[in-house]
Amino acid sequence: MMHRTRTALLALLMVPFSALAQPADSTRTPAVAYGQAAIGAFGSTFTPFSIAELRGLTEGSRILGQDLGGHQEQLLMQSYGSVSIAMDLGIVLGRRVVNGQRRGPELRLGYTFVPGVTTSTSWSRTDRAAYDTLTSVVTGQAYAVDSVRTSTITSGFQASLLAFDASLLFRTRNTNRVTFFGGIGVLGGAAFNSEITVEERIDRTLESASGNGELAYQELTDETRRERYAQGDGAWYGGYIPLGIDLRLGRKRGFWRMVHLYHELRPMVTFWDVPGVGVRSGVGMQGLFGLRIDTSY
């Protein structure tokens, strides 16, 4: 599966720039103007799974199958994120010609890849019991010693995200090197290689009070156990608003006039359809730094 995924991604990397080699189109039909590649970061909020939902996704779990009535949830709102890669083609839709070049709105088509996102929730429970009593040989005062057992359960949900996106852009055009752009976009794809990990860590310590009111701890033992459960692929989609700034590296020489560096922000609304659970919505942000080869200058 991973080998086929890498092969497909390598093929997609070549698409935007190879398409620029096509002949110039007429003003009556859309024309491919640029190809671009960018890398950055992506993050989105995510509503946490309940214990009941996790038990349905991890059937037979010995960790989640125990009585968790005394455990307290540590995270109420979750998020997920990772490095992101974006590749796009830009198509000029306008028919207006300025200095021999097409001008107007742009249709941008491409994809976004976010590898290895993780979201997690944890629950914790602490139990105390009388263990012993210590008596000071100086003052004769007695100090209680308690046995403390802390159970911490962590559930992690991992997946990789691949989505194809389309956006309509409006770009400022002037003789300066710096320009701005904005628009609206949508994306849709899949969450694949999904997995849930469940881990329980049990710490046992002795807790005693000293004469000045301070607590002293002595660690006895710790224990960790872990479970893994593969999950089915789900849908991942949403909408975003692209906002960016573009720097053209050259103003006179032919090649460097085509080379651009850009920074783009994509505030977005995301939807993740998790099999067996349903759709989880969230708000997110993607930030990108990229290189664009634009033949329309």
State residue 206's pLDDT score: 79
The beta strands (E) that lie in 47-175 are given as: 72-73, 78-92, 96-98, 101-103, 106-135, 142-171
Position 36 pLDDT exceeds 70:
yes
For 184-238, what is each residue's pLDDT tens digit?
999 999 999 999 999 999 988 877 766 565 556 667 778 899 999 999 999 999 9
pLDDT tens digits, residue range 241-268?
999 999 999 877 678 888 999 999 999 9
pLDDT one-digit tens code per residue, 94-103: 666 666 566 7
User: Rounded mean pLDDT of 102-113?
Assistant: 89
For residue 158, the model assigns a pLDDT of: 94
- Hey, where are the domains in the chain? 31-119+159-193+232-294
Of residues 158 and 251, more confidence is placed in 158
Most confident of 19-33, 251-265, 274-288: 274-288
Q: In whole numbers, what is the pLDDT of the chain averaged over residues?
A: 83
What residues contact 287, with CB distance under 8 A and at least 6 apart?
40, 41, 42, 263, 264, 265, 266
Q: Is 140 exposed, middle or buried (CB count within 10 Å of its CB: 0-12, 13-18, 19+)?
A: exposed
Q: Does domain 31-119+159-193+232-294 have CATH number 1.10.760.10?
A: no
| Residue 176 confidence (pLDDT) above 70 | yes
Cα 17 to Cα 135: distance, rounded to the nearest angstrom: 80
pLDDT score at 47: 87
What integer pLDDT is reported at residue 207 of this predicted model? Answer: 74
Q: Are 43 and 84 in contact (CB under 8 A)?
A: no
Residue 190: the pLDDT is 97
Mean pLDDT confidence for 164-188: 91
* 254, two tokens: 């032919």
What pLDDT is attached to residue 169? 95
Name residue, tokens 């752009």: 181
- With CA atoms as reference, report the closest residue to 282 among 293, 295, 269: 269
The whole-number average pLDDT for the span 261-277 is 96
Asked whether the predicted pLDDT for residue 11 surpasses 60, the reply is: no
State the pLDDT at residue 260.
94
20 pLDDT higher than 60:
no
